[in-house]
Structure 1
């Protein structure tokens, strides 16, 4: 399921990152790689703050939808 479906406090593992090109590469550089643990710190109006590899990252809903988690 997409990361955008998670709620505050949920923890999941990244399965894959959809998309191509610059956005895909940027998300991988931020730590969204297969097997990485992701937890939702905050969610407001479709915008997320998630913790991945010890760093907090802000994402909007469209970008969070590209990250598939389980």
Structure 2
């Protein structure tokens, strides 16, 4: 399932990132690495606030849709 389908407060594990290599590299630099735990902290009309590796990161829904979790 994509990250946009995860409920607030739920913790998941990143399974895969389905994006161009440059976008994938950028997300990996932010900590979005396969096998990493990620939690959806909040959501608004423009995107998601995520907790990953102890940091809060905001992503728009288009970008979050490229991250597949389990």
TM-score for both structures, normalised by structure 1: 0.93
Per the alignment, residue 60 of structure 1 pairs with 60
How many Å apart are 1:23 and its aligned residue? 1.2
User: Is the contact between residue 7 and residue 43 of structure 1 (CA under 8 Å) also seen in structure 2?
Assistant: no
CA distance in 2, matches of 1:44, 1:7: 12
Per the alignment, residue 41 of structure 2 pairs with 41
Equivalent position SS for 2:9: coil
Which moves more between the two structures, 54-63 or 19-28?
Answer: 19-28
Q: Runs in 1 of length 4+ with deviation above 6 angstroms?
A: none
Unaligned 5+ segments in structure 1 are none
Unaligned 5+ segments in structure 2 are none
TM-score for both structures, normalised by structure 2: 0.93
Equivalent position SS for 1:25: helix
